[in-house]
Amino acid sequence: DVKVTQSSRYLVKRTGEKVFLECVQDMDHENMFWYRQDPGLGLRLIYFSYDVKMKEKGDIPEGYSVSREKKERFSLILESASTNQTSMYLCASMSQNTEAFFGQGTRLTVV
């Protein structure tokens, strides 16, 4: 079974903190994604990566950065957390033109 693991289920951070969300997949997938999900807005793509050290902006990259130093790991970084970044963050991985597999999500609250 494909497994995508996110480092935390719940996080509470203070405004201005630097926040790291980690994601690891064990199926050697080329493509990895970070989404955020908010009520009424669905899943919105923040960043994605199709290879090690490669990254592409999604629809809402502002305030975020990513790192992919190894194929299995894709990190999302909030450079200076703000309250409008309170959300559910979902990591996903997929191979070419197949379905995506999701991690269990990280519910981040910024206070």
Partner 1 sequence: RKEVEQDPGPFNVPEGATVAFNCTYSNSASQSFFWYRQDCRKEPKLLMSVYSSGNEDGRFTAQLNRASQYISLLIRDSKLSDSATYLCVVNPGFQKLVFGTGTRLLVSP
x/- mask, partner 1, residues 58-77, rule CB under 8 A, reads: x-------------------
Q: Is 82 helix (H, G, I), strand (E, B) or coil?
A: coil
Backbone phi, then psi, for 68, in 5-degree steps?
-135, 85
Report how many residues bind partner 1 under the rule CB under 8 A: 26
CA distance 34 to 46: 6
User: Hunting for tokens 């997938």 — which residue is that?
Assistant: 29
Burial class, 70, CB count within 10 angstroms (exposed 0-12 / middle 13-18 / buried 19+): exposed
Residue 15 vs 52, nearer CB to partner 1: 52
Q: Does 99 bind partner 1 (CB under 8 A)?
A: yes
For residue 41, the minimal CB distance to partner 1 (Å) is 7
Site for partner 1, rule CB under 8 A: 30-31, 33, 35, 40-43, 45, 48, 50, 56, 58, 90, 92, 94, 96-105
